[in-house]
Structures are given as structure tokens and as C-alpha cells.
Structure 1
Amino acid sequence: MFGAHTWRCGQRYDETMTLTLAPDVQHHAANAAGRDFVIGDLHGCVDALRYLLHKVGFDAAHDRLFSVGDLVDRGDQCEEALALLDKPWFYAVLGNHEDSLCAVAEGRLARHRWYAIGGGWAQGLSDHALATYAKRLRELPLVRVVGEGETRFNVLHAEFFGDDADLDAGRFDAEVRERMMWGRELAFNAARLPHYALSPTYCGHTPVRELRQIGSQTFIDTGAFIPEGRLTMVEALTSRQWSISVQAARAMGAAEMTLP
């Protein structure tokens, strides 16, 4: 477990190679023209996503899909998952597995340590290819904030202890960044922890059998890469949700379904 280390993947380099930081928080206007969905930890299970998007009649011209992170590792379609970052309707936050990929590309984590937590899909990738992916991942925020007031919801990877004002400020120290990508204290010790005045917040990272809401934070990672697990997608700020296993999705022809 590498929870004791945060590798600061949320970084990018300008043309002079001076280190600059990608914004930790990105804001999006409410979607007045369509629907907003949030997908759980994808972990390279793109066929399950294809099925879910087909199931809800996803309209790429008006709908948006937000991701709680962990696009890669453990599943067998990790490069296809990374390609989603180029879709104009897809908005991800940084997960701990993307953080690990960046750490490898930047020489701060040995490849074999990453492989041990699911990065084995990248064994055939050159250092250059890995660096190209890392460059794109450095642009991802830790948090996406959508809408304002009653239409607001937040998307982040693991957990957050604070209110909307704390989230909006974006001044996250190393400990807070660590918790936002690796933390599981809320999910494991909910009864003993305070709840904060957050708008509805969608998280992943900690696998659950069914969606679990703790205070304002809803955990939607239902273990897509696990044989008995599923990929879950919710429509933001509603009770609507859809889940499918990779095996079931492929049995229903998901591999032939085109992404928007």
C-alpha cells in the first residue's frame, strides 16, 4: 500500500520546462441542456462503460460524464480508458492509480511497485509512451465542482474532510491531497467521524457492494475489475443508477457498441 506517499501528479511543464501546477479544482457550469452522469472507478473496464452509455441513451452533444478517477490498472482496456480523456464530454479527476502512473513516468516510483497494484498492463509500454500519458494526466484536477447552490455537486476520488468553502479554496496541503486520492477513513470509520456541510459529493476508491452514502459523500466504486463486481454510473443529483459487470456487458455485445 502506497498511501504514505503523494506523488504530485497534478503537475505540468511549460515549453521552457519550468514546473507549473495544474489547478486542483475545476469549476463547471450546471448543465442546462442535458444530463450529467458520474461513473465509478473504471479500471480499464471500457466495455462495461460502452454498455451503460448505450443503456441510458447518452447524448454526446448535450450530456456529460464525470469520472471519480482510477481510469487505469487491473482491467484489460486501460489504454482505451485513457483515450476517454480526449472526448469532449468526459471529465475525470485524478485517482491514486493515475498518480502512480505519473510517479513511474517521472522516476519517483519503480515500475515493479506499480505493477504490484495493477499497472502490469503497461509492461510493454516504452518510457516515452508512459511519459506521454503522464503529461496528459498532469492536467487533471483533484476536484470538479459542477453548478452552484441547489444544482451543485462535487466529484473527487477518495474522500474530503471539509465544507464547500474549503473545497473551493483549493489550498490543499500534502496531507489533504493524500486523503483526497488515497483516504479510506470515512468509509471505514463513518460512525466516529464528523460530517461536513458539503454539497452532494461523488467519490470512488473504496469498493462497495452497493452505493453507500456517508454524510454528503456517496461512494460509487462497485469493483468493476472484480469478477463478481460491477461498473456503476449514476445520474447526478437524482436517485437513478445503472450497473453492469464486464462479463454481462460483453455477453450483450458491448464490445461492438461505439462510444459517442
Structure 2
Amino acid sequence: MNQTASFPPNERGRDFVVGDVHGHFKLLERALVKLEFNTEVDRVFSVGDLIDRGPDSEDVLNWLGQPWFHAVRGNHEQMVIDGICGHGDRHRHIRNGGAWLYELSPTTQEQLLAAFQQLPIIIEVKLSDDKTVGIVHAQAPAVGLENEWQNAKEAITGTRGKQSEQQALAQALYARDKIEQQDPTPIKGIHEVYVGHSSVPRVTRLGNVLYMDTGCSFSDGALSLMEIGSQSVFSIGMTQ
């Protein structure tokens, strides 16, 4: 697996970032219809946690197979990897919406394992004005005293050693301390960073970090997308 992935500027269409989908792909499909999404020129980037809790988790392989849909790995994808590999906490995963996985055939489970293991931890998207935005599931890993994007990438790719890589992976998939502390300190060396994992009532900015998980799968939540270029936000409620 490549721990990072980079995408060139989209010179022809629009780029969207979508918050945690949690198995609600039909809702995402309705959102894209309302946005008049064009599969020929537009792209969607996911902050991870595509599966669990919602009714459509099995559709994830179809979505990951679309050439215009790209995702980072979330902690729920990691729970699937750990569960299938036999070193995860199956009961914890089931409590967090993962029961569907263990009802699938071994062949389908292996297909999911292969797909999720290929998901990068960090995605970079270059913009047409020479800026770059980053996408990571929970939080950009902080390495040392410098809160720099390049340091995070070096750690997640193992350049700084195995211990730093493991610490960076844990932060990328699970950390919440930045939002819990309401820390507006910007991440240096990157224009913006899009994350999910921590539910917020609406898309929330802290410095140059945007929190995209607006509680999809909860009755009072919504699925939110942001068009990177215009910064416009579109949210669709669970009953819409």
C-alpha cells in the first residue's frame, strides 16, 4: 500500500470532499444528483469511514471502483482490516456498526480487505493556483514540536522510523485532541486539510483544518460535501 496519494489539478470540472458516509451510499447518490455531479469531469474525495452503521456498506466496493471517487482510510476501514486479519476486536466492531461484515462470504471479505488495504492514509490534491490541500481521516499527525504537513507525510511513510510511523497512523485514524481543545493553530506547509471522524453540527473550520463529519447515520445528522474551489457546502439530512 502507498501511504500517500497525490492528484493533479482538476482543470475541467469540480472537486468535492465528502464527510463520513457510514454506509449511506444512497444518500450520497442523492446528494450528487442534486449537485448535478458530472462523472466525466468532477471528482469526489472521501475523508474515510465509508462503511458501518448504515444500510449500504456492501456497496463500498462499487464506489471505490469508480475512477472519479477517491478515499483515505478511516478507523472503520481499519477495523475491517483488523477483523478479517484476525487481530481486531470483533465485538467492538459489531458495537460500532460492523455486524454486516461478518455475515458476508469469505470471498467478499477478502475483496474488502484487499480494497481497504490499498487506501492511502493521506491524499493531496493540487489546485490550479499552485496550492495543495490535504485529506486525512481524523487528524494530521503532529511530529515533534513543528505542526508541519511535510513532517506528517514523512512520519506516515516510515521515513522517520517505525515508531513514528505507528504513532502517526494512530493519530491519522483516531486522534481528536485538536478539535476537543478547539485548537486553531494552522497546519504549516499546506493550504487546507480536510478531516472527518469527529462529528460536528455543521462543517467547522479550525485554522486551516475543515471538519466534514456532520453526523451521517445519526437521526439528527446529515451528510455534507464541500466543493473545494468555491468552498460552498451542501448538506443532505438523513430523511431527505
Structure 1 residues 85 and 229, CA gap change in structure 2 (3 angstroms): same
**Number of the residue aligned with 1:48:** 27
* Contact 2:138–2:176 (CA under 8 A) maintained in structure 1: yes
Q: Among 119, 137, 152, which residue is 1:157 paired with?
A: 137
Q: Which runs of 5+ in 1 are unaligned?
A: 1-21, 249-260
Residue of structure 2 in register with 1:7 after alignment: none
Residue 229 of structure 1 corresponds to which residue in structure 2?
A: 221
Deviations 1:148-197 (A, max 9, x none): 66431111100013323224433351111101000101110124x74331
1:82 equivalent in alignment to 2:50: no
Alpha-carbon deviation of 1:67?
0.3
Unaligned runs of at least 5 residues, structure 2: 159-163
**Residue 51 (structure 2) aligns with:** 72
Instruction: Give the conservation status (yes or no) of the 8 Å contact 2:187–2:209.
Output: no
Aligned length: 226
Equivalence for 1:11: none
SS at match of 1:137: helix
Task: Single out whichever of 113-122 and 52-61 deviates more from structure 2.
Answer: 113-122
2:42 is aligned, of 63, 68, 79, to 63
**Superposition deviation, residue 113 in structure 1:** 2.5
Report the counterpart of residue 187 of structure 2 in structure 1.
Answer: 196
Amino acid aligned to 1:62: V
Identity of aligned residues (%): 29
Residue 187 of structure 1 aligns with an amino acid whose one-letter code is: I
Change in Cα spacing, 1:242 to 1:194, as seen in structure 2 (3 Å) is closer
Contact 1:106 1:131 in 2 (8 A): no
Alpha-carbon RMSD across the aligned residues, in angstroms, is 1.6
Distance 2:16 2:10 in 1: 11
Q: Which residue of 1 aligns with 2:112?
A: 133
Residue equivalent to 1:239: 231
SS at match of 1:129: helix
The equivalent of 1:96 in structure 2 is: 75
SS in 2 for 1:117: helix
Q: Could you list the structure 1 runs, at least 4 aligned residues long, displaced by more than 6 angstroms after superposition.
A: none
Distance (Å, rounded) in 1 between the aligned partners of 2:166 and 2:182? 23
**1:105 & 1:182 partners in 2: Cα distance?**
20
Tell me if 1:105 matches 2:105: no
Is 1:217 aligned to 2:205, yes or no?
no
**Corresponding residue number in structure 1 for 2:18:** 39
Distance 2:106 2:92 in 1: 16
Task: Give the whole-Å Cα distance in 2 for the aligned partners of 1:127 and 1:185.
Answer: 37
The 2-side partners of 1:47 and 1:246 are apart by 10
Q: Is residue 137 of structure 2 the alignment partner of residue 146 of structure 1?
A: no
Alpha carbons 1:28, 1:145 under 8 Å: kept: yes
> How many angstroms apart in 1 are the aligned matches of 2:126 and 2:137?
19
Aligned residue for 1:153, secondary structure, equals strand
How far is 1:118 from its partner?
1.3
Q: Secondary structure at the match of 2:191?
A: coil
Q: Distance in 1 between matches of 2:173 and 2:110?
A: 21
Mapped to 2, the partners of 1:121 and 1:35 lie a distance apart of 33
Asked if 1 retains the 8 angstrom alpha-carbon contact of 2:83 and 2:90, the reply is yes
